[in-house]
Amino acid sequence: MKVLLVHDYGTAIGGAELMMLALRDGLRQRGHDARLFTTRAEGTGMQADYDCFGTTSRYRTLLQTANPWAFWRLRQVLDEFQPDVVHVRMFLTQLSPLILPLLKPFPSLYHLAWYRPICPIGTKMLPNGTACTNPWGKACLDCLPVWDWSALMLQMNLWQHWRDAFNLIVANSGAVKQQLISQGISPIEVVWNGIPVRPVRPALTSPPTVVFAGRLVPEKGIDLLLDAFAKVVEQIPKARLLIAGDGTERDRILSLIDALNLHPNVSLLGHLSRSDLEQAFSTAWVQVVPSRWAEPFGIVAAEAMMRGTAVIASRAGGLAEIVRDGQTGFLVPPGEVEPLTEVLLKVLQNRELAEEMGQLGRTIALSQFSEGVFVDRFIELYQQLLQNSTHFNPDWEASY
């Protein structure tokens, strides 16, 4: 089978990019001819088979609305390669909806990474940190400057106009599927993200260690974790917290650590490579994902489970599907400190519980979240597309 993978970026940096590269490798290992088409927006480190112009400059909003270079180059690639199936991951941040008419002659699926098809900023979250329940349209002016809003409304209308280029939509969680269904988008299959199998962590030792990995931005809820951890330290003075990641909230987080007198207990590790992160987190008793927003999937939770680490996560979005409450960790209400403090203490005061939850989490991750399971599931969907193409439901519109 010849499969063309289409994605905005072709470097091994972000989670979606790593997943597309792993999918290409997995398909090739199974005897399929898989090739990747992306833009050159990220510059160095390109691993795509085909590419076109892209940019991260201030002109990006215009380009992601209409990228003629992507249209011309993809037309050449489709004529040359003649794929059996086209698998599109992300196209709304670089490649633009202009590529969609080119896909109509080919069985094609759209594999969502986030809420971008129904939200111009992709988060379905308002500036005040609450969930957005509005359809895209005038309501998006609350989140976007007028100029960006105008361009992105055009983009959304183009995407809506050509949406029937896709025979199938694939969501990365049931939570995303429900968001799409609420906007009238179907048919939708769910394929959970795949992550590499990694060595199981060593047996837990003292001191009890909590870890966090993610961007240091408000929606990730790192301030909630710090507030809860300060209360943990009152009862477990030797407890440690390791924070991996960087972002706009770094200075505020440093100030909060200082205000809570947590410097002896908290280490900011900055951005780490995957291998360095695994090494740093090998001593973790529990990994916390305290997101305020409904994570489309929550890959850091699945990665923690694959390592054999218990997980405490917000009961929101895809996280509620990954973590089995009371079995592989705990789910807590998003935005609340007290419930988070309570379950942190429960895990950190019971090494046996942390071990048991981590071991069960690894078993589940191996059976449900491995790259092998991920690749095989998409091969099944490709075969279904070739046998009996379904069609996108056109009955959805923006609200102006």
Note the pLDDT tens digit of each residue in 28-69.
999 999 999 999 987 777 899 999 999 888 888 889 999 999
3-state secondary structure of 191: coil
Of the pLDDT bands very low, low, confident and very high (cuts 50, 70, 90), residue 397 is very low
Q: Is residue 257 within 8 Å of residue 223, measured between CB atoms?
A: no
Residue 357 lies in a domain: yes
Q: Say if residue 146 is in the same domain as residue 62.
A: yes
For the chain, the C-alpha Rg in angstroms (whole number) is 22
Question: Residue 363: which domain range?
Answer: 209-368
CATH number at residue 102: 3.40.50.2000
**How far apart are the C-alpha atoms of 157 and 117, rounded to whole Å?**
10
Residue 187 scores a pLDDT above 90 = no
Specify the DSSP class assigned to residue 110.
E
Q: Say if residue 322 is in the same domain as residue 382.
A: no
Of the pLDDT bands very low, low, confident and very high (cuts 50, 70, 90), residue 15 is confident
Q: Say if residue 267 is in the same domain as residue 163.
A: no
How many structural domains is the chain composed of?
2
- pTM to 2 decimal places: 0.91
**How far apart are the C-alpha atoms of 111 and 91, rounded to whole Å?**
10
Q: Say if residue 321 is in the same domain as residue 377.
A: no
Q: Say if residue 45 is in the same domain as residue 123.
A: yes
Cβ atoms within 10 Å, residue 259:
10
Cβ atoms within 10 Å, residue 130:
11
pLDDT digits (tens, 9 = 90+) for 333-365: 999 999 999 999 999 999 999 999 999 999 999
Q: What pLDDT, on the 0 to 100 scale, is given for residue 389?
A: 57
Q: Say if residue 223 is in the same domain as residue 146.
A: no
Of the pLDDT bands very low, low, confident and very high (cuts 50, 70, 90), residue 279 is very high
Instruction: List Cβ neighbours of 120 (8 Å cut-off, separation of 6 or more).
Output: 136, 140, 143, 144, 148, 149, 152, 153, 155, 156
Residue 25 lies in a domain: yes
Q: Say if residue 172 is in the same domain as residue 301.
A: no
Q: Say if residue 227 is in the same domain as residue 289.
A: yes
Helix axis angle for 299-307 and 351-368, nearest 10°, is 110
186: its two tokens: 């179907």
Identify which has the larger pLDDT, 365 or 129.
365
Residue 283 lies in a domain: yes
Dihedral sign, Cα of residue 372, residue 375, residue 381, residue 387: negative
Q: Say if residue 218 is in the same domain as residue 121.
A: no
Write the DSSP string, 314-380. Answer: ESSTTHHHHS-BTTTEEEE-TT-HHHHHHHHHHHHT-HHHHHHHHHHHHHHHHHHSBHHHHHHHHHH
Taking residues 193-218, report their average pLDDT. 94
3-state secondary structure of 93: coil
Residue 399 lies in a domain: no
Q: What pLDDT, on the 0 to 100 scale, is given for residue 390?
A: 52
Q: Is residue 244 within 8 Å of residue 272, measured between CB atoms?
A: yes
**How far apart are the C-alpha atoms of 300 and 319, rounded to whole Å?**
10
Residue 398 lies in a domain: no
**How far apart are the C-alpha atoms of 367 and 377, rounded to whole Å?**
12
Cβ atoms within 10 Å, residue 68:
12
Q: Say if residue 190 is in the same domain as residue 249.
A: no
Task: State the residue for tokens 């988060």.
Answer: 123
Identify which has the larger pLDDT, 202 or 394.
202
Residue 395 lies in a domain: no
Please state, for a pLDDT cut of 90, what percent of the chain lies above it.
82
Q: Say if residue 240 is in the same domain as residue 214.
A: yes
Q: Say if residue 323 is in the same domain as residue 380.
A: no
The dihedral region occupied by 368, where left means phi > 0, alpha psi between -120 and 50, and beta the remainder, is alpha
Q: What pLDDT, on the 0 to 100 scale, is given for residue 394?
A: 40
Helix axis angle for 15-29 and 371-387, nearest 10°, is 70
Residue 400 lies in a domain: no
Residue 199 scores a pLDDT above 90 = no
Residue 231 lies in a domain: yes
